Amino acid sequence: MTKPVAIATTLLLASLLTSGAAFPTEVIQASAATVSNSTTAVSSPYLTPLWQVNKDAQGLYSEGQQTSQGRTFYTTRNGLIAADITSGRTKWTYKDGTAPQIITNNSVFFITNQGELVKVAADSGKLLWKVKAAKAPIEIGAQAKLIDGVVYFANESGGMAAYNPATGKKIWANQTIPMYVGSLIGTYQNTLLVSSTVNNIRSQFFGLDPASGKQRWRVEGQYAYAGYRDGQLILRESKYAAGTASSTPSAPAYLMTLTSIDVKSGKITSRKQYQPLAGAADIYNIRTILQGSSVYSMDEYTEQGGPLLTRFTMGQQAEQSSKSYASYGGWLAGPVDGRVFFQKDQQITSVNLTDNTTILFKNPASPVIHLQKIGKAVYAGFGNGKFSIMNADTGTLLGTMQTDAGEYGSISVVNGIVLIPTEHKLFAVSLPKELR
């Protein structure tokens, strides 16, 4: 989000370099008590890039910071490039390199188009080891992940393997595990959990012995990964599996059905349904997040737009145990640091999940296509091509630049420098002084 479905609200930054003078932009004008739908032009500082480079879209949706040893990493037709975070200058290039799969404090791992799993030094690009992990040409779905000190490799047509990250020595291989549109979930209760699709409708989840790669159990159904809790793999059933497409007119429809599976045995231990409703065929879940005792369901309603957020208490199926946040508008991001972000009539609002206090943001008058909160800052890209940095605690607009962008990767902040990856460019800007 297959992997947990995540909303594809990402941003891109194209170039517009002008002086560092104040840059006028349309923002929502809102008081502390009410949200105004009117817009007006106000001055906000222009975010002048420290540097920018052209890149391709490889690895745009990679999780986590793409940085190590003062370097940031991106790809072009020339290969994998490491750039100095401060200056943007190229420090090294690996000709056959692709987007990093794993980045540690000292190393970068990637998979070449020839099917090699490669480890290089993050600071110099020096080859540390490489192994033939799959037959060429490599499938788009090939992936590697570092879990509990082991590098696990999966290939859509080549099963799975495990490698020692220090030496590259193969620990085991299991070619019988199908990994088409697969995901390496993690290890829990000494069980390696992975998943893949059966036919793009049904999915399958496997429990493997992490030491040998041998299959312990398999579960198949119309499921999506929701999370892990207390020895249980939590899966969300498709609305069709939950009875909404049943031929029985009286079959109940529920917004959410969660199935719990014991990770040691693979046995289903419970199946709980939340919030009965009518017309569920018009509702499409895009993401489910487990956090503490709460379950957050982000659902697209065809007649209302969205997605809209509903919060449930895990295990409590009574209607009074749920809370709808539909009045705040469409869900954008969160929960993060106890807050969730929404947009309604182009106004961005954050809601405190503990006391429901809100912060209204001054933002460009345009739909948000990507939003991240990191520390005291909120970073947002908009459909009109603008990118803004706002104070997370006050909603103050601290800077904007015109980017004409359409997609973003994960934004990183390193030593006061904000790195903004897009499908065509990588930008670096200074973090506004009041956020340092």
Residue 123 pLDDT: 96
Dihedral sign for Cα 144, 93, 138, 235, please: positive
| pLDDT value of residue 231 | 96
Q: Where are the alpha helices (DSSP H) in 52-200?
A: none
**What pLDDT does residue 40 have?**
40
Q: Which two tokens stand for residue 178?
A: 């199908």
Distance of CA 346 to the CA centre of its chain: 23
Nearest alpha carbon to residue 53 among 82, 29, 33? 82
What Å distances lie between residue 58 and 54, 67, 379, CA to CA? 12, 15, 22
| Cα–Cα separations (whole angstroms), residue 284 to 240, 262, 312 | 10, 27, 17
HEC letters along 252-315 = CCEEEEEEEEECCCCCEEEEEEEEECCCHHHEEEEEEEEECCEEEEEEEECCCEEEEEEEEECC
State the SS3 of 47-85.
CCCCEEEECCCCCCCCCCCCEECCEEEEEECCEEEEEEC
Contact between 393 and 34 (Cβ < 8 Å): no
Q: Tell me the residue type at 373.
A: K
Instruction: Write down the pLDDT at residue 43.
Output: 59
pLDDT in tens, the chain (436 residues): 333 333 333 333 333 322 233 333 333 333 233 333 333 444 578 999 999 999 999 998 888 889 999 999 999 999 999 999 999 999 999 998 999 999 999 999 999 988 899 999 999 999 999 999 987 667 667 899 999 999 999 988 778 999 999 999 999 999 999 998 899 999 999 999 999 999 988 999 999 999 999 999 999 999 999 999 999 999 999 865 544 444 344 455 888 999 999 999 999 999 999 988 775 557 888 899 999 999 999 998 876 667 999 999 988 866 667 899 999 999 999 999 999 999 999 999 999 999 999 999 998 889 999 999 999 999 999 999 899 999 999 999 999 998 888 999 999 999 999 999 998 999 999 999 999 8
Q: For residues 237 and 257, is the Cβ–Cβ distance under 8 A? A: yes
Q: Tell me the CA distances in angstroms from 156 to 37, 79, 99, 221, one per residue in order.
A: 48, 23, 18, 19
The model carries a pTM of: 0.85
Handedness of CA 122, 127, 133, 135 (dihedral sign): positive
